Amino acid sequence: MLLLRRATLVKANTTTQVIGFSASARLISARSSCSTSRPWVATQCSASYQQRTSFAGRLSNLGISPSRQHLQQQQQQQQHGSRAMASAGRKLELEVVDIENPKEYNFILGHAHFIKTVEDIYEALVQSSTALKFGIAFNEASPGYEAMPGRKVRFDGNSEELIDLAKVNAMALGAGHTFIVFLDGGFPVNCLNAVKNVTEVCRIHCATSNPTSVVLGKTSDEAVGILGVIDGVRPLEFENDDDKKKRHEFLRMIGYKR
């Protein structure tokens, strides 16, 4: 049986033209010889299992000579698979780190890239509110080079207390390309969209003032990433009518609803 998932065969005199071949997830155009009595059926070939299941073997069964480009692509895919199998034996160590936040400041924890992250987040926060106090720290993941050493905790802000708090937490987490911003005089709701729109920012893990634990994955002492966060505590029950009324009144008391 021919190992085709999907192929469109078009009769053309005494040849069959293969328009689509999805087993390689790419479109190709080639020709294979076929019977004049049944031009829509390609002749089945006997071949070894390896030949029949390889990219070149599947084309050979159709009488098609694969191009050098397709063979190179198949070879690259096989090499990638070999590397994936080799890395499958690596171990992942889990670690939980609590965010140090004794005064319960609001903070934003996220993932970004590139060395100008702290400057761009600084500008985004300043433009959100002139009354906002903040401290930013960003873990650089790149090894760097002589002209620009890497693996630094980059930091900025307009409050020394919040800058120091951000630096301590960024170093404790140790996760590459992680940033943390501590806020005072405002809430994440005032500036979160501005931070999200910073071109270096990839994602936000949380924005909260709750006790927070960060779940880290470690493949070595040098390679650490954030897998998720535990934000606050679990709920106890559903809100009732009185709770809804209090929520409604609270939002208007603090000026977020009219």
Q: What is the chain's mean pLDDT, rounded?
A: 80
Ramachandran angles phi, psi of 227, nearest 5°: -95, -25
Instruction: With a cut of 60, say whether residue 135 has pLDDT above it.
Output: yes
- Measured from the Cβ of residue 164, the count of other Cβ atoms closer than 10 Å reads 15
Lowest-pLDDT range of 39-43, 99-103, 147-151, 162-166: 39-43
User: Based on the number of CB atoms within 10 Å of its own CB, is 106 exposed (0-12), middle (13-18) or buried (19 or more)?
Assistant: buried
Instruction: Give the pLDDT confidence score for residue 80 in this predicted structure.
Output: 64
* Residue range 182-202: mean pLDDT, rounded: 97
Chain segment 215-233, per-residue pLDDT in tens: 999 998 889 999 999 999 9
Q: Which domains does the chain have, with CATH numbers?
A: 9-87 (no CATH), 94-253 (3.40.1520.10)
Nearest alpha carbon to residue 175 among 112, 84, 115, 92: 112
Q: Taking residues 247-251, what's their average pLDDT?
A: 95
User: What mean pLDDT is predicted for residues 69-93?
Assistant: 69
Mean pLDDT to the nearest integer, 115-120: 95
Q: What is the pLDDT of residue 3?
A: 41
Judged on CB neighbours under 10 Å (0-12, 13-18, 19+), 204 is middle
DSSP state of 36: S
Q: What is the pTM of this model?
A: 0.67
Provide DSSP, 42-76. BPP----HHHHHSHHHHHHHTT----HHHHHHHHH
- Beta bridge partners of residue 17, listed in sequence order: 10, 31
Contact 154, 115 (CB under 8 A): yes
Higher pLDDT, 16 or 139: 139
Q: Look at residues 185, 184, 35 and name the one whose alpha carbon lies nearest to residue 101.
A: 184
What is the gyration radius of the CA atoms in the chain, in angstroms? 29
